[in-house]
Structure 1
C-alpha cells in the first residue's frame, strides 16, 4: 500500500485531523507542532490524543510526521535565536512523547556567513543536549535546496551532523523532492544514482520519510518553490518513479504542494492509481 498524506492543520485537534486525512484517502499526515511563524503551541488534550491513537490503529496509518516551525535557526550567529530554537525543539520533543507520533522533522538552518563547520557544531550541540536515549521520536534532518547559507543541501553536510550526534538511533533524514531537485540532485534522470550516493555517504537505513513535491524551478537553481504534482519541472513521470522505487516505496510520503484539501485528494488519487501494488 502507498503510505501517503499531506500537510494538515491541527487547529481543530488531533482526532479531527486524523478524520480529515481519511476523507482525502490519506493514511498518514504531517502537521506543524505550533504556529509555523511563531512560538505558541496549543495545550495537548489527552482525550483528543487517545481518540487519534485509536483512529490511527483502526485504519492502519503509517507513521505521522511532526514538523518544527520554519522560523527556527539552530545555527544562527545570534545566541538568542539559537536559544529560542533549542527551547522550541526541546519542548516539541517532550510533547511528542504524549502524541502517537514518532517522526519529527526540522530544517537544519542557515549559518549566515559563519561557515558550515561552525553551523554544524551549533546544530549538533543543540541535538546532543536535548535528544534523550529513551525517547520514542526519531528526529529528521530535512534535505534543503541550498539557498543562501542553508546547511543540508548536500548529503555530505547531513552526514557531518549525523556523525556528531551521540544518540544515532534517534536521528535520520527526510528527503524533500523539490529541495533535492533544486539543490542539483538528478532525481529525474538518475534516481538510482542519487540513492546509491545517499546510501554510500549516509546509509539508506537513515531515510525515514519523503516530502513529495514538484518544483517550480530548474534543477540546481538553489531555490525553494514547491509546485503541484505533475505541474512542475520534476514532472509526474519522475514522481511516479519515486513512489514505486524499491528503496523508497514503503516509506511514508507527505505532500507539501500549494493545494487545498480537494487538491490534495486529487493528487493522492493520481498517485494511488500509479502505485504498483
Structure 2
C-alpha cells in the first residue's frame, strides 16, 4: 500500500521528499509554489532534479497540488495568468518526477447559462494542454459542493475529460472528504459508487486518492478534513473508509493524507496506524 501525506516545501523539493521518508511514507503531496498565489515561480532546477532522483532511489511517489488561488473557471482578469500558472505547475511537477498536479473542478459562473462553466473549463484545459508536452498529468479533483461548486458527480468529471481535446493528459484524484460532503458517497453506497466509476471509465483513470475524514455529516457540503481514526470529530467511520479503499484502490495508487497534523496525531503516527490496521487486510484482496 502506498500511504503518504501533504508536506511542506519550506526546505525545497528535495527537503519535502526527505520529510516524507522521515514520516515512514511511500508517497507525498506538495504545493509546487506559494499556495496562495498564481505568481509564476522561477524554481531551482537542480533541487527539483535532486527530488526526482531521491524519489526514484527510495521508490517514493509524489504528486503536486495547485495553489488555493487556482480555478479552471477563472475570472476574465485571471484567465491568462491561470493558464500560465498551470503550465508553471506542470513544469515543476515534471521536473520533480511527480505523477501530476491536482486541480479542483470549477465553479458555476453564470445563473442563466448552466453550460458556461463547462465551456470555460474546456477552453482552459485545451489551451494549457495544447502547450504542455511533458508526461505529468492534470488530475481533476471532485469538489465538496461548497458555494455552488461543480464537479460533485463522476459524470461531470468524466465528461470534461472525454470532451477535452487531450484526454490522455488528464487523470482523476478522488477526495474522500469531498465525496462524503457532497453526498456522492455517504459511507453506505460504496458498491454503487464503484460500479458507476467502473462503467464510466473513472476508475481506470484514477491516479491519486486524498484520504480524508470529514468534520461534518454527509451532504453538508462542508470541506473540513478530519483525521482518519478520530471518532470524536470525524463523521466517516474508519471501517467505511477502509471498505471504500478496499473496493476502489488499484495497485500503485497513492493514498495521500490531507488531514490535520496538529490535532493530537501526527502524519507519521497516522501513516503508522494505517499500515497496522489496514495494509494486511486490504492487500489480501489482490
- What TM-score do the two structures reach when normalised by structure 2? 0.89
Q: Deviations over 1:96-138 (max 9, x none)?
A: 3322112111112212334441111111111111114732111
Which residue among 267, 275, 279 is the counterpart of 1:275?
279
Residue equivalent to 1:153: 152
Q: For 1:53 and 1:90, how far apart are their aligned partners in 2?
A: 19
1:187 Cα deviation from its structure 2 partner: 5.0
Q: Structure 1's 249 and 136: CA in aligned 2 closer, same or farther, altered over 3 A?
A: closer
**Alignment partner of 2:4: what SS?**
strand
Residue equivalent to 2:212: 213
Residue equivalent to 2:125: 127
Matched, 1:266 2:264: no
Matched, 1:100 2:97: yes
Q: Structure 1's 186 and 126: CA in aligned 2 closer, same or farther, altered over 3 A?
A: closer
Q: For 1:80 and 1:202, how far apart are their aligned partners in 2?
A: 35
The 8 Å contact of residues 113 and 149 in structure 1, kept in 2 or not, is answered as: no
Q: For 1:248 and 1:189, how far apart are their aligned partners in 2?
A: 21
- Where in structure 2 are the equivalents of 1:61-72 lying within 5 Å? 61-62=60-61, 64-72=62-70
**Alignment partner of 1:94: what SS?**
helix
Q: For 1:247 and 1:264, how far apart are their aligned partners in 2?
A: 21
Q: For 2:251 and 2:260, how far apart are their aligned partners in 1?
A: 23
**Alignment partner of 1:29: what SS?**
strand
**Alignment partner of 1:275: what SS?**
helix
Which residue among 78, 83, 102 is the counterpart of 2:80?
83
Residue equivalent to 1:137: 136
The 8 Å contact of residues 5 and 21 in structure 1, kept in 2 or not, is answered as: yes
Q: For 1:50 and 1:35, how far apart are their aligned partners in 2?
A: 20
Q: Which structure 1 segments of 5+ residues have no match?
A: none
Q: Structure 1's 158 and 246: CA in aligned 2 closer, same or farther, altered over 3 A?
A: closer
Q: Structure 1's 258 and 247: CA in aligned 2 closer, same or farther, altered over 3 A?
A: closer
Q: Which structure 2 segments of 5+ residues have no match?
A: none
1:58 Cα deviation from its structure 2 partner: 1.7
Q: For 1:243 and 1:203, how far apart are their aligned partners in 2?
A: 15
Q: Structure 1's 83 and 108: CA in aligned 2 closer, same or farther, altered over 3 A?
A: farther
**Alignment partner of 1:189: what SS?**
coil
Q: For 2:139 and 2:114, how far apart are their aligned partners in 1?
A: 19
**Alignment partner of 1:157: what SS?**
helix
**Alignment partner of 1:134: what SS?**
coil
